[in-house]
């Protein structure tokens, strides 16, 4: 980071902790998304079938370098043109039995293996993998969770990340960045909060509230607040696996919120995106586009002679650079990165941190008694989460004493260090008061004879390795 040595907080964090950054999980998928008109969920590998299925497959059919929407007039269509703005398509209401005109909306596409008299059907894209459904936690087959792949971690991208996490047991926290909707998501996606240990739920809620303060995004539980369908769960998510199996506090941040920028507040995100947008809210979105983007985020409908469907109109939102990502105007992109980096760094600052404190040397006859105090000055305990303890994924911590020129006469050269609490188990503010236990501290005494140098090393799984040198 170019702020190391300049920004005091960043310098301190980089001195204390280790950061691992993965710029892109699926490099070829991101490249296709960014450099071609195509939309893409994850991987470029065909799945679950090696060839296209009959039905719609997205394509830039008018050759303008974009893939938008098509509208086609149909007396059975479920959309109408708004009387307030001819660009806007409105869903037919339950009581709308008028004369129309009515329209169907389709992706800009051609129809594969389609005959003129066949019904027009949508289908799964050729690249149907979803790498965020390919993780081990509660994995199920394609029939229940589309995009899950042939088996957990079947893809090189997901397997590489899993191997990395398993080979780096020092990791305490993580954040994955997705787009879009402006929300901070946390596990679980498949069960409600009753499945959490009390400590872990309290920590998740506290960190989530901190994220809300720094980003302005709501902190949501996926199972309760972010399901596409209330009767089905989102399974095999990366954050579910990382927390459930490894006990690491992880968040998925959905970057960028065009809806809020347009002045639309206090809505159920999933309901707004998929089911229920009021016409006046749609008008607000178009006004934001007109005022801020000078109308460039929405393409006015233009007539086109589709090679299979005949007369259609092509237009609609330029989805990639309006709804899904911050537009490259003003400071939207910079601001989105800035506030979310602040949350990421704040999350990292909560890691456990073990230090030596106030060691003492006492002369005992011809020998010396060394008294050590080891403190966890971090927010989280050295085991990080109760879930990590339940899953037994935390390695033992050790105190190692090496004498150079002197001899250890009382005590052991290798001693197990018990887990030390942080401040996270002291979050309750009971009206009945109570004593905060001094459970962040561990003392150890040993005796050496002779003179020389003593090197004391504390090796912890999650709070790093520290050394203390004493000359006697």
231 shares a domain with 315: yes
Q: Would you state the pLDDT for residue 237?
A: 81
pLDDT at 120: 84
The verdict on residue 180 lying in a domain is yes
pLDDT band (50, 70, 90) for residue 446 = very high
Q: How far apart are alpha carbons 292 and 285 in whole angstroms?
A: 10
Residue 256: is its pLDDT beyond 90? yes
Closest Cα partner for 95 from 74, 80, 85? 80
* CATH number of domain containing 447: 2.60.40.10
What pLDDT sits at residue 412?
92
Q: Indicate whether 327 and 376 sit together in one domain.
A: no
Same domain, yes or no: 277 and 365: no
Mean pLDDT confidence for 261-269: 85
At residue 231 the predicted structure's pLDDT band, cuts being 50, 70 and 90, is: low
Residue % of the chain over a pLDDT of 90: 71
The verdict on residue 3 lying in a domain is no
Within a domain: 2: no
Q: What is the pLDDT of residue 430?
A: 65
Distance CA 419, CA 34 (A): 46
Same domain for 263 and 403? no
Q: Are residues 25 and 161 in the same domain?
A: yes
Specify the pLDDT at position 236: 60
Per-residue pLDDT tens over the stretch 49-101: 999 999 889 999 999 999 999 999 999 999 999 989 999 999 988 887 778 89
Number of domains in the chain: 2
Long-range contacts (CB closer than 8 Å, 24 or more residues apart) made by 327-332: 327/292, 327/293, 327/297, 329/292, 329/293, 330/292, 332/256, 332/261
Q: pLDDT class for 276, splitting at 50, 70, 90?
A: confident
pLDDT of residue 432: 67
Q: Quote the tokens at residue 212.
A: 């809300």
Supply the pLDDT for residue 270: 82
Tokens of 19: 């950061």
Tell whether 375 and 417 lie within a shared domain: yes
Specify the pLDDT at position 190: 85
**319 and 378 both lie in a single domain:** no
**Quick check: is 1 in a domain?**
no
- 337 and 420 housed in the same domain: no
Q: Are residues 360 and 312 in the same domain?
A: no
CA distance 339 to 358: 38
Which of 312, 347, 382 is the last residue before a domain boundary?
347
pTM of this structure: 0.90
Q: Are residues 286 and 393 in the same domain?
A: no
pLDDT value at residue 100: 84
The whole-angstrom separation of Cα 96 and Cα 452 is 92
Q: Looking at residue 261, what is its pLDDT?
A: 93
Q: 148 and 129 share a domain?
A: yes
- The pLDDT confidence band at residue 192, using thresholds 50, 70 and 90, is confident
Determine phi and psi for 410, rounding to 5 degrees: -135, 130
Residue 1 has pLDDT above 70, yes or no: no
Strand order in the sheet with 79-81: 89-91, 79-81, 103-107, 69-73, 310-317, 298-306
Residue 133 CA neighbour count, 13 Å, CB half: 21
Same domain as 364, residue 335: no
- Residue 48's pLDDT band, with cuts at 50, 70 and 90, is very high
Q: Which tokens belong to 145? A: 């969770």
The answer to whether position 414 is within a domain reads yes
pLDDT digits (tens, 9 = 90+) for 376-420: 999 999 999 999 999 999 988 999 999 999 999 999 999 999 999
Is a pLDDT exceeding 80 seen at residue 230?
Answer: no
Q: What percent of the chain has a predicted confidence (pLDDT) above 70? A: 97
Question: The domain containing residue 60 runs over which residues?
Answer: 8-347
What is the sign, positive or negative, of the torsion defined by CA atoms of 89, 91, 92, 95? negative
**Residue-wise pLDDT tens digits, 87-146:** 999 998 888 777 889 999 999 999 998 888 888 888 888 998 999 998 988 888 888 888
| Dihedral sign of CA atoms 85, 88, 89, 93 in order | negative
Tokens of 129: 């993998």
311 pLDDT more than 70? yes
Q: State the chain's mean pLDDT as an integer.
A: 91
Q: Please identify, among 292, 324, 347, the residue that sits at the C-terminal boundary of a domain.
A: 347
Indicate if the pLDDT at residue 283 is higher than 70: yes
d(CA 462, CA 77): 58
- Would residue 362 count as lying in a domain? yes
User: Are 390 and 244 contacting, i.e. CB atoms less than 8 angstroms apart?
Assistant: no
User: 237 in helix, strand or coil?
Assistant: coil
> Is 202 a member of any domain?
yes
Last residue of a domain, one of 347, 376, 403: 347
Q: Is residue 377 part of a domain?
A: yes
Q: Is 104 exposed, middle or buried (0-12, 13-18, 19+ CB in 10 A)?
A: middle
Residues 6+ positions from 119 with CB-CB distance below 8 Å? none
Predicted confidence (pLDDT) per residue in 383-392, tens digit: 999 999 999 9
């Amino acid at each position: 980071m170019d702020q190391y040595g300049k920004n005091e907080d960043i310098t301190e964090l980089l001195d204390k902790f280790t950061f691992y950054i993965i710029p892109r999980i699926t490099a070829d998928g991101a490249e296709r998304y960014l450099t071609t008109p195509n939309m893409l969920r994850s991987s470029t590998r065909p799945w679950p079938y090696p060839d296209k299925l009959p039905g719609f497959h997205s394509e830039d059919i008018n050759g303008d370098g974009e893939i938008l929407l098509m509208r086609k007039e149909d007396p059975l269509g479920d959309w109408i043109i708004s009387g307030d703005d001819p660009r806007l398509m409105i869903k037919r209401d339950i009581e709308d039995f008028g004369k129309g005109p009515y329209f169907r909306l389709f992706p800009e596409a051609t129809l594969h293996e389609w005959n003129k008299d066949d019904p027009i059907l949508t289908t799964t894209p050729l690249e149907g993998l979803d790498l965020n459904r390919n993780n081990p936690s509660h994995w199920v087959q394609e029939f229940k969770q589309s995009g899950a792949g042939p088996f957990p971690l079947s893809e090189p991208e997901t397997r590489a990340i899993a191997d990395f996490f398993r080979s780096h047991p020092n990791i305490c926290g993580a954040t994955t960045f997705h787009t879009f909707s402006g929300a901070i998501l946390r596990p679980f996606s498949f069960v409600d909060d009753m499945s959490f240990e009390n400590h872990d739920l309290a920590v998740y809620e506290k960190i989530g509230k901190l994220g809300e303060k720094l980003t302005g995004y709501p902190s949501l539980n996926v199972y309760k607040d972010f399901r596409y369908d209330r009767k089905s769960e989102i399974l095999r998510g990366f954050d579910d696996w990382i927390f459930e199996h490894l006990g690491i506090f992880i968040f998925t941040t959905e970057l960028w919120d065009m809806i809020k920028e347009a002045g639309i507040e206090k809505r159920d995100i999933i309901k707004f995106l998929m089911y229920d947008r009021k016409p006046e809210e749609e008008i607000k979105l178009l006004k934001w586009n007109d005022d801020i983007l000078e109308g460039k985020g929405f393409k006015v409908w233009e007539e086109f002679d589709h090679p299979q469907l005949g007369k259609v109109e092509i237009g609609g939102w330029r989805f990639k650079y309006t709804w899904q990502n911050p537009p490259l105007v003003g400071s939207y992109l910079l601001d989105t990165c800035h506030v979310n980096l602040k949350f990421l760094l704040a999350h990292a600052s909560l890691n456990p941190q073990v230090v030596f404190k106030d060691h003492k040397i006492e002369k005992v006859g011809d020998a010396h008694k060394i008294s050590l105090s080891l403190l966890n000055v971090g927010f989280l305990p050295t085991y990080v989460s109760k879930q990590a303890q339940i899953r037994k994924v935390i390695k033992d911590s050790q105190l190692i004493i090496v004498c150079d020129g002197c001899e250890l006469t009382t005590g052991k050269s290798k001693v197990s260090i018990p887990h030390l609490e942080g401040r996270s188990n002291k979050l309750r503010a009971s009206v009945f008061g109570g004593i905060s236990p001094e459970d962040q501290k561990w003392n150890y005494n040993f005796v050496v004879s002779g003179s020389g140098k003593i090197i004391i090393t504390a090796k912890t799984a999650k709070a790093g390795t520290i050394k203390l040198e004493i000359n006697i």
